[in-house]
Chain A
Amino acid sequence: DQQVKQNSPSLSVQEGRISILNCDYTNSMFDYFLWYKKYPAEGPTFLISISSIKDKNEDGRFTVFLNKSAKHLSLHIVPSQPGDSAVYFCAAGLTGGFKTIFGAGTRLFVKA
């Protein structure tokens, strides 16, 4: 049973437009959420996170939105750049715990 789901395996966006990556979770106990970005032949790198006490967190071109009632979070990238082309993993867990549950990832293609 996948507790963190990224239902879109891939997404293609034009440079300069907005990229929206979605993530759903099933465990209502999760209170901390993260996005990681992964380039080919490299390990994932931390991108942005959000605590369940917030509904939005912004860092430059990246914004994560959390909808607790829907158990849904999304990552917005504005404007999208070709260098953003990568696999994006959504992850969730419990504050104070150590176990992070990752989704299957969404591959983003940003076309120049």
Chain B
Amino acid sequence: DARVTQTPRHKVTEMGQEVTMRCQPILGHNTVFWYRQTMMQGLELLAYFRNRAPLDDSGMPKDRFSAEMPDATLATLKIQPSEPRDSAVYFCASGLVQGRGITDTQYFGPGTRLTVL
């Protein structure tokens, strides 16, 4: 049963610390998305990649967030320095897009719950 995995599942850190969240997309999928879920905003798209190339990261605060795909089996989202307002659940999703964009289903990981004190 193929699924997206995310580590860590929970992270508590202090303000100013660096946080790295990792995602392993489903093997064979060519798109990866990072979302942030907050009570007020719901699911916000932070960044997405196709074939490991970043297509759009306009949803991310550029000064502190960065997203990369060092290889096809790993996507990372880094926050440096972290702030209390970054506390949220961060989801990674992957999909197989064959030229039709969002008409293809996204498969979400279980999320990383981040708490910044």
A residues neighboring B (CB under 8 Å):
2, 6, 32, 34, 36, 41-46, 49, 51, 89, 91, 93-105
Contacts and interface: CB of A to CB of B under 8 A. Distances in A.
Contacts of B106: 46, 100
Interface residues of B, number: 29
Given A89-B43, A100-B45, 10 more contacts: A42-B111, A43-B110, A43-B111, A51-B103, A89-B42, A93-B102, A101-B45, A102-B43, A102-B44, A105-B43
Given A95-B102, A96-B100, A100-B45, A43 B31 contact: no
27 contacts: A32-B102, A32-B103, A41-B110, A43-B4, A43-B93, A43-B108, A43-B109, A43-B110, A44-B43, A89-B43, A95-B101, A95-B102, A95-B103, A96-B99, A97-B102, A98-B97, A99-B48, A99-B56, A100-B33, A100-B102, A100-B106, A102-B43, A102-B44, A103-B42, A104-B41, A104-B42, A105-B43
A32 B99 CA distance: 15
Contacts of A89: 42-43
Interface of B: 4, 31, 33, 35, 40-45, 48, 50, 55-56, 91, 93, 97, 99-103, 105-111
A6 to B, nearest CB: 8
Contacts of B100: 95-96
Nearest to A101: B45
B105 to A, nearest CB: 4
Contacts of B55: 98
A95 to B, nearest CB: 6
Identify the interface centre among A49, A98, A101: most chain B CB within 10 Å of its CB.
A98
Nearest to A89: B43
